Amino acid sequence: MKTVVIDGREMYSRDAAHAYLANVLSFPGYYGKNLDALYDCLTDISEPTHIVIYQFPDFTDCPENYLCSLLDTIVAGVKDNSFLTLSFDAGSGR
């Protein structure tokens, strides 16, 4: 199983988040850098892949709505793709 580690600190803006996710998840060059494209690319993954997200901002207050939407999209993509699993790690991820 492939493991992809996502550093939440890299998600400091909408553009940075999409560029970072495209890189670490090896999305195709035509990736649209929006939530619909993120969902589509996640559900297109066809090999067993475990995604570990660490150092993600605390969503209890959801200070920036887009980050909440981004996380919701990742969770939905994992839920709808049987090749994907997801976990969160509050530590360093290393």
Spell out the alpha helix ranges (H) of the chain: 14-24, 35-44, 65-79
Residue pair 31/79 in contact (Cβ under 8 Å)? The answer is no
Alpha-carbon distance of 4 to 24, in angstroms, equals: 7
Grouping H, G, I as helix, E, B as strand and the rest as coil, residue 5 is: strand
Domain ranges across the chain: 2-89
Alpha-carbon distance of 61 to 94, in angstroms, equals: 27
Alpha-carbon distance of 35 to 48, in angstroms, equals: 22
Per-residue pLDDT of the chain (94 residues; tens, 9 = 90+): 999 999 988 887 889 899 999 999 999 999 999 999 999 999 999 999 999 998 876 555 555 678 888 989 999 999 999 999 999 887 654 4
CATH fold of 2-89, please?
Barnase; Chain D (3.30.370)
